Amino acid sequence: MGERILAVRLGAMGDVIHALPAVASLKSSFAGSRVAWVVEPRWAVLLAGNPYVDEVVELNRRKWSSVRAAWRRLRAMQIDWAVDFQGLIKSALVARASGARRVRGYDRAGVREGAAVWFYTEAHPVEARHVVDRHLELAARCGARVREIVFPLPEGTMEGELPEGEFVLASPFAGWPSKEWPLERYGELARILRRRFGMPLVLNGHPAVKAALGKVEDAAPHVSSISGLIGATRRARAVVGVDSGPLHLAAALGKPGVAMYGPTDPLRNGPYGGTIRVLRARDAVTSYKRREETDASMMAITPEAVAAGLEQCLSGRRA
């Protein structure tokens, strides 16, 4: 019987996507292995049909019944070793509670919460900058051989109304407001795109932001689930985004486009793969502070600059 491996990356959307290549490398490197992944229920759709994951264990930490069920499933698997790709106390605790004989993760310099290393039997240093490469390096420290970088994502579904022809897709919202771009600027961008490229701008979001999307003049709102977002992204000619899950989804799918960055570091958290061009003000300060107001560096990015970046991507020039 091969190795029984557990990957722990509970969420969120972009973070789960960033861990896909590393987990794929684990599965590919150990013949006969069985790989399980613990994830929050909201993000499990990202792992649907993944050929590198044999079992998805959903864990809702807010429901005791879910915690108990996940714990029982993990214990029954008799995990040989677990890898915590998240570096938080909660994720390290899940890896440890699985009963794995070996629990691996980043060393203290690599985790987001220092106390997470207390739950590891092995803490590994990594040198890579981008989070995708960091995960791949951690997997390599565990014995994986990275033959190719793959992002196995589901096909998605068609939800809501989308233009019949080519369109640019944007997802305006992020985990915190300071790294978002003002909504009214998407309206300005929509008018430029229509005039210059003859392409509409579609704004995607979940049902809770439907009203906000509908207020953006000259852009077409598109409300969907994550599966619908995947389908819309696959159909889009190009994308516009901020540092959020939908942008990282588009990068994983190899879509061209433009990303706007401000208080977060694109060298660490930028769109992976080189198909998406990053715009960032020269005086932007990396802070990762979750402020409620739009960061000044995001305000410095103009709709005209985004349109110019899109023109370069659509003409075939790489980022």
Q: How far is CA 220 from the centre of its chain?
A: 24
Which pLDDT belongs to residue 314?
Answer: 83
Q: Are residues 78 and 123 in the same domain?
A: yes
Q: In sequence order, what are the beta bridge partners of 83?
A: 7, 104
Q: Give the C-alpha separation, 202 to 204, whole Å.
A: 6
For the stretch 18-28, pLDDT in tens is 999 999 999 99
CATH at 47: 3.40.50.2000
Residue 187 above 70 pLDDT? yes
Helices (H), the chain: 13-29, 64-77, 89-97, 131-141, 183-197, 210-214, 226-235, 245-252, 266-269, 296-299, 303-314
Q: Is residue 250 part of a domain?
A: yes
Token digits of residue 124: 């590994």
Closest to 43 in 3D by CA, of 68, 24, 15: 15
Query: Mean pLDDT for the chain?
Result: 96
Q: How distant, in Å, are the alpha carbons of 18, 39, 132, 278 from that of 245?
A: 10, 15, 14, 15
Return the structure tokens found at 221: 């709102």
Q: Which of 112, 124, 123, 100 is nearest to 6 (CA)?
A: 100
Answer for the pair 258, 319: CB distance below 8 angstroms, yes or no: no
What percent helix, strand, coil does the chain show, rounded to 5? 40, 15, 45
Question: Is 180 in the same domain as 102?
Answer: no
Q: What is the pLDDT of residues 46-91, one digit of tens each?
A: 999 999 999 999 999 999 999 999 999 999 999 999 999 999 999 9
pLDDT at 213 over 70: yes
The tens digit of pLDDT for each residue in 259-296 reads 999 999 999 999 999 999 999 999 999 998 889 899 99
Q: Is position 159 within any domain?
A: no
Phi, psi of 56 (to 5 degrees): -105, 125
Q: What is the pLDDT of residue 289?
A: 85
Chain segment 79-129, per-residue pLDDT in tens? 999 999 999 999 999 999 999 999 999 999 999 999 999 999 999 999 999
Separation between Cα atoms, residue 17 and residue 68, nearest integer Å: 26
| Domain encompassing residue 285 | 168-314
pTM of the model: 0.96
**Residue 41 placed within a domain:** yes
Q: Is residue 211 part of a domain?
A: yes
Q: How many domains does the chain have?
A: 2
- Do 81 and 178 share a domain, yes or no? no
Q: Which of the four pLDDT bands, split at 50, 70 and 90, describes residue 1?
A: low
Q: From residue 163, give the alpha-carbon distance in Å to each of 167, 169, 206, 258, 280.
A: 7, 11, 18, 20, 30
pLDDT surpassing 80 at residue 319 = no
Euclidean distance between CA atoms 268 and 225, whole angstroms: 27
- Cα–Cα–Cα angle for 139, 151, 99, rounded to 5 degrees: 40
pLDDT band at 38 (very low <50, low <70, confident <90, very high): very high
Any domain includes 146: no
pLDDT at 318 > cutoff 60 = no
Residue 191 shares a structural domain with residue 227: yes
Indicate if 293 and 245 belong to the same structural domain: yes
Residues 179 and 107 in one domain: no
Note whether 178 and 304 are same-domain residues. yes
pLDDT given for residue 139 in this prediction:
98
Tell me if 148 is assigned to some domain: no
Average pLDDT for residues 223-230, to the nearest whole number?
98
Do residues 122 and 215 both lie within one domain?
Answer: no
- Same domain, yes or no, for 290 and 254? yes
pLDDT-based confidence at residue 313 (cuts at 50, 70, 90): confident
In this structure, the answer to whether residues 135 and 175 fall within a common structural domain is: no
Share of the chain above pLDDT 70, in %: 98
Confidence of residue 140 (pLDDT cuts 50, 70, 90): very high
Placement of tokens 């689930």 in the chain: 225
Query: What's the pLDDT at 15?
Result: 97
Claim to verify: residue 194 and residue 295 sit in the same structural domain: yes
